Structure 1
Amino acid sequence: MPSIDPAIPIVEARGVSKRYGPTTALHEAHIKVFAGESHALVGRNGAGKSTLVGILTGLRAPDSGQVLFSGEPAPAIADREGWRRHVACVYQHSTIIPDLTVAENLFINRHPTERGFISWSTLRRRARELLDQWGVAVSEDARAGDLRIEARQLVEIARALSYGARFIILDEPTAQLDGDEIKRLFIRIQELQAAGVTFLFISHHLQEVYEICQTVTVLRDARHIITAPVADLPKDRLIEAMTGEHVSLGVADAAGRTVPEDAAVALEIDRLSGDDFKDVSFNVRRGEVVGLSGPTGGGRIGLAEAVAGLSPYSAGAIRIDKKPLPSGDVTAALELGVGCVPKSRHDQGLVLSQSVADNAIMTVNRHMGPLGFIAPKRRAELTGRTIRSLGIVTQGPDQLVSGLSGGNQQKVVMGRALANDPSVLVLMDPTAGVDVKSKEALLTVIERMRQEGKAILVVSGEIEDLKTCDRVLVMRHGSVVAEHKAGWSDNALVASIEGIELA
C-alpha cells in the first residue's frame, strides 16, 4: 500500500453543490478528512448530510464542485469499482444478507471460482484471513442473521476494507445498539483507526462525537458552517452552530398561552410499550398541542403510529375520550375520533392515481349511503369545503393528486385527517418537504384546530413545527427523557434531543 502524506486529506470535497428542482440540497459545501482520524459530520434534519454522503460515495454527482481522494480527482460516477477502492458507507440499515454466511456476505458477487464453480474452501479461507486481519471475532461460517448488530456492522466494515478502501462512512452506527454494544463498537473503531482506517462518523447523539471523534464538521441549511477540533468546540457552541439564528414563520407561537386546567383529557397514553418504545405515559388535553421529538430511532414514530392504529402495541393502554383503543386497529382509531397525517404522504398518505376528492374523503364513513357510496352532492360539498379551508391549489376536485405540488399534496392529507371531525389529531412530520408558504398554511391549520378544542400530537424534529406546541416531550431509546414547556430556546431543545447536557 503506498505511503500516505499526512498533509493531504484522504478525502476532500471542494465547493460541492446539489439542487433538486427548486430545492438546494447542498450549497458550496466543503470538508477535509485526514488519514487515521474519526471525523464527525453533524447537522439537523435537512442540513445536507445525506446529500454530501451521496456525493462522497459516488452515488450522486454534484452540480458543481469536486471530490478528491488523496489529492487526486474522484473516479467517474460510472466507475463503481473505482469508488469502492476509495470509500464505503455502512448504513444505519444493514446491507448484510441475513440468510447467507459471513464468508458469503464478505465476497458477495465475487466468489472465488475453480473450473467455473465456486470454490467454497477458498472462500472460507479468504474470509478467515480478512476477519483475522481486521480483528473481527466472528466465524466465517456463521449465519449473518444470527450475529449481534455491532458484529454485522464490523463484517460490513471488513467487506469494505477488502476492496482496498481505507475511508469508511458510518451512518448512525449506534442507532440500534445498547450501551454495552456501543462501547464495544467504539473500541473496535479506535483499533481500526490505529491500523490506518479513517472514519466519517454521522450521529444524532452528539455526546458520541465527543467520545469517539477528533474533528467535527457542522452543516446547516445546506451549507458548511464550521470545521473544528472536537476538543476546541464546547457543547454549547456546537449546538449554536447547528441551530443558528432561528427565523420565525408568520405563525402563532405557543409561548405565553396557557391550557385551561379543567380542559378534558382527550388522549391518554398509559404505560405504553411497543417494538421501539417502552412504558411511556402522557396525556393531551382538548385545546392543547403536545410535541413529540427526539433522534431518529428514538421511538416517537412508532408511538405515534400506535395512537393512530397504524402499528400494534404490546403493553399498556391508549384511551381516546376515556374509551380504549385496540392495538393496531385503524378502523377503531377512526371511529373513536383519531385523525392522522402519516410520516410519508407518498407511501402512507395518498393514493397518487386517484383524484383530490377521492383522497380527501377516503376516511369519511358516516356520510355513506346504504350501498357504501357517498352521494355526488355530498361528495362535492365535503371536497369543496376541504379545498377552501386548507387553501389547496388545484384545477378542481377531480384532478389527480399526483399532479399537485408537494405542499398541496400535504394539504390533501391534512384535509383527509380532518374529514371526520376528529377529537384527536396525530400529525407526523406535518410540514416535511413543503415550501415556506405551505408550511405556514399547515401550521395555521394546526392553530385553528387547537382553538376549536382538538387535542393535537405533533411528532416532528422541525423547530418551526414544535414552536406551535404547548410543551414538547423528547424521546430517546424508546423513553420520554425530557419535557420542555413553551418558551424553550432552540439551543436547549436541540441539546435535549441530541443528548447533550449544557452547562
Structure 2
Amino acid sequence: MEQRPLAEAAGVGKYYGPTTALHDTNLTVVAGESHALVGRNGAGKSTLVSLLTGLQAPDAGEIRFDGESAPALADRDAWRTKVSCVYQKPTVVPELTVAENLFINRQPTGRARSINWRRMRADAAELLDAWDVHVDPDARTGDLTMEDRQLVEVARALSFGARFIILDEPTAQLDNREIDRLFARMRSLQEAGVTFLFISHHLQEVYEVCQTVTVLRDARWIITAPVAELPRPALVEAMAGDSAAAQTAVGGARTAVPEDTPVRLTVRALAGEGFDATGLAIRRGEVLGLAGSSGSGKIQFAETLAGMHRPASGDAELDGDPVPFGDVRAALDAGVGCVPRDRHHQGLVAGMTIGDNTTMTAMDRLGRYGFVRADRRRSMARALIDRLDIRTEGPDQLVSDLSGGNAQKVVMARALARDPRLLVLINPTAGVDVKSKESLLARIDTAREDGTAVLVVSDELEDLRRCDRVLVFFHGRITAEHPAGWHDHELIASIEGVDRV
C-alpha cells in the first residue's frame, strides 16, 4: 500500500528580485519516516524550511499537509498543529522552568484568571511522560544539557498536535554519546507516529537515522531517493555537481611553499568552546584554509587566534612570541589582523566614515601622545582605499553608504592597516558580488607575497581554492588535510564526514 504524504512542497520557488533562493523544488515527506534534507551552504535548505513552517509564502508552487493546502500565514495556531522546527540554537527561555517553557503563553488558569501553577506542573509532567522525555518539569531550562533542551522543544511542538518535526542541525552542539541518545529518541518517536525532516551537514548521520534523502543544489531540487539505495559517493556527487570529479583547485598549479620556509604561526593543543586539542603550523607566505560545517569548531578556533576568546588550554606562538588570547587589542599589537565573520556587527562602525573605519586599528601610527593627525589619517585611508579598490567618494564618506562588497573591502583594509604577520579571514567574501569577491581574494595573493601567514576560514569552495592546503574540522577536531589541487567532491566528502574509500 502506498504511504500517504504528510508534508509536501510541490514545485515551490522563492525569489528576491534577481536572486533565486529556491526554484521549482519538490519535497514529499511520508508519515512516520525520518527524511533527510542535505545540500551545501546556499543550496536552499533554509529557504525551504521557512516555507514549510509558514514564515514565508512561496512565490511559486504550493505547500500541503495531509493533502490539503497549508494554512494562511497569519494563522499561527493552525501552523503549530501542522509543523514545528527545532533549530540549532534553542528557542527556549533559559531562565524559565521546563513547565513554563512547555506552556508559555498558554498557561492553565484558575480563579481570577491567575496561573494555576500546580496544574501546569502536572500537565508538564504528563506531557513529558507521554513522550518519554526524562526531564524534571521544575528544572531551570538553562541548566539542562543541549540534548534535553532540544527534547523539551520537541515535546512542546507535539503538545500543539504537530506530528511533523523539522530538526535543523540538531547534532551540531552535541557530543557522540548525546548524538546516540538523540537518535534513539528519534527512533522511539517515529514508532509513536512522529515524522522528522532531518537537516545535517554530517552525511554519516543521514545513513544512520534516515530512510529517505532529498538533495538540493544551487537552489534547486536534485534528487530524492531511499537512503539504502544511494551509495555515499553518489550522494556526495549529487551535492557537489556532476562535474565535481573534473573540478580542480586553481592552486593546483601554484608553487608550494618550500619546506625550509620558516614557520610563522605555531599552535599547540589549543582547546576551547567548540574545538579540542588542535595543533597546526603556518609558514611565512603560506595560505592555510579551514573547512567544516557550521558546528565544526573552525570559526571558534580562528576567533580564538584573533583574540576574541580565551581557550581552556593550549598555546600559540607567532614568530616565537606568545599569541595573546581573550584580548583583541593585544592580538592586534602582536601582529594579528582579522576579518570577522559578520561585518555588520563585528567589522564596521556604521556611524563613522570610511577613513575612520579603515584606520582605527592603527591609531598609534597616526600621531603621538594619543593625538591623531588628520593629514596622516587621511593619507593612510586614501592609500588603503586605493590598495583595496574601494569605490567611494573619499575617506569622509559614511561607511553605511557603501555596497556590501565595498563595505567588506573596508573591513579587509582595516585588517591590513597594521601590516599583520598573521591574517585571519573568516568568511571573507560572504554576501559580496562577483567582482568584489575576486578583488578580496586577490588580497590573499598579495599577503602571501609579503610573507604574511594567512588563515582562511570559509564555507565557500572558491575562497579555499587560493589556499596552499586545506584542513577540515569535524566535531571540533582536524580530521583531514587536502593539498592544493583538491577536487570538490573530495573536500565535500571530508566536510560531511563521509569515507569515500
What is the TM-score with the length of structure 2 in the denominator? 0.96
The alpha carbon displacement at 1:254 in A equals: 4.7
Distance of 1:126 and 1:338 partners within structure 2: 55
Aligned residue type for 2:41: N
Residue correspondence of structure 1 range 334-413 to structure 2 within 5 A = 334-413=332-411
- Look up the SS of the partner of 1:501 in the other structure: coil
Tell me by how many angstroms 1:410 deviates.
0.8
Q: Which aligned pairs between 1:132-211 and structure 2 lie closer than 5 A?
A: 132-211=129-208
Give the equivalent residue in structure 2 for 1:228: 225
- What's the CA shift string for 1:446-493, capped at 9, x where partnerless? 112112211100011211111111111111222111111111111111
Which of 49, 53, 56 is 1:53 aligned to? 49
5 Å-filtered alignment, 1:105-144, equals 105-115=101-111, 116-144=113-141
Q: Which residue of 1 aligns with 2:31?
A: 35
Task: Tell me the secondary structure at the aligned position of residue 176 of structure 1.
Answer: coil
Q: Which runs of 5 or more residues in structure 1 are unaligned?
A: none
The whole-number CA distance in structure 2 between the counterparts of 1:353 and 1:247 is 47
The 8 Å contact of residues 6 and 34 in structure 1, kept in 2 or not, is answered as no
- Check if 1:66 corresponds to 2:62: yes
Q: Aligned equivalents of 2:143 and 2:332: distance in 1?
A: 40
Are 2:253 and 1:238 aligned? no
Distance 2:19 2:352 in 1: 26
Contact 2:249 2:465 in 1 (8 A): no
How do 1:463-474 residues align onto structure 2 when only pairs under 5 Å count?
463-474=461-472
Q: Larger deviation: 254-263 or 392-401? A: 254-263
Contact 2:204 2:497 in 1 (8 A): yes
Q: Which moved more, 1:248-257 or 1:37-46?
A: 248-257
Tell me how far apart the structure 2 counterparts of residues 373 and 59 of structure 1 sit (CA, whole Å): 51
Task: Give, in angstroms, the shift of residue 365 of structure 1.
Answer: 2.8
CA 1:450/1:248 → structure 2, altered by over 3 Å: closer, same or farther?
farther
Are 2:245 and 2:488, in contact at CA under 8 Å, matched by a contact in 1?
Answer: no
Deviations 1:385-418 (A, max 9, x none): 2222212112222221112111111111111111
Identity %: 60
Q: Could you list the per-position Cα deviations for residues 148-196 of structure 1 after superposition, in whole angstroms to 9, with x for gaps in the alignment?
A: 2222211111110111111000011111111121111111111111111
Q: Does 1:15 align with 2:11?
A: yes
Work out the CA distance in 1 between the residues paired with 2:64 and 2:92: 28
Determine if contact 1:254/1:468 at 8 Å carries over to the other structure. no
How big is each residue's C-alpha offset from its partner over 1:226-283, in whole Å with a ceiling of 9 and x where there is no partner? 1111111111011111111359999952544210222221111112111222211111
Give the SS at the match of 1:19: strand
Give the alignment partner of residue 86 of structure 2, picking from 69, 84, 90: 90
- Could you say which residue in structure 1 is the equivalent of 2:435? 437
* 3-state SS of paired residue (1:100): coil
| Distance across 2 between alignment mates of 1:247 and 1:349 | 37
2:292 maps to 294
Task: Using the TM superposition, give the Cα deviation of residue 6 of structure 1 relative to its aligned residue in structure 2, in angstroms.
Answer: 5.7
Shift of the alpha carbon at 1:145?
Answer: 2.5
Compute the displacement of 1:371 (Å).
4.6
CA distance, structure 2, for counterparts of residue 133 and residue 261 of structure 1:
62
1:6 & 1:402 partners in 2: Cα distance?
56
Deviation at 1:438, TM superposition (A): 1.4
Residues 247/383 of structure 1: CA separation in 2 closer, same or farther (3 Å cut): farther
Cα offset for 1:140?
2.1
2:441 match: secondary structure: helix
The number of aligned residues is: 499
Moved over 3 A (4+): 5-8, 245-252
Take 2:177 and 2:368, find their aligned partners in 1: how far apart are those partners?
59
Note if contact 2:249-2:487 (Cα within 8 Å) is conserved in structure 1. no
* Contact preservation (8 Å) 1:6, 1:35: no
Partner-residue secondary structure (3-state), 1:365? helix
Query: Does the aligned pair in 1 maintain the 2:248–2:487 contact within 8 Å?
Result: no
Asked if the contact 1:251/1:440 (under 8 Å) is kept, the reply is no
Q: What secondary structure does 2:360 align onto?
A: coil
Q: CA RMSD in A?
A: 1.9
Shift of 1:300: 0.9
CA distance in 1, matches of 2:250, 2:485: 12
Amino acid of the structure 2 residue aligned with 1:502: R
Q: Which residue in the other structure is 1:453 paired with?
A: 451
Aligned match for 1:103, one of 99, 106, 127: 99
Aligned residue in 1 for 2:488: 490
Match of 1:315 in 2: 313
Change in Cα spacing, 1:21 to 1:382, as seen in structure 2 (3 Å) is farther
Rounded to whole Å, the distance in 1 between the matches of 2:132 and 2:68 is 30
Distance 1:181 1:252, change over 3 A: closer
Structure 2: state its 5+ residue gaps: none
The residue that corresponds to 2:419 in the other structure is 421
Question: In structure 1, what residue type is equivalent to 2:69?
Answer: P
Alpha-carbon contact 2:289-2:470 (below 8 Å) kept: yes
Q: Against the structure 1 CA distance between its residues 248 and 362, is the aligned structure 2 distance closer, same or farther, given a 3 Å change threshold?
A: farther
Note the C-alpha offset of 1:63.
Answer: 2.3
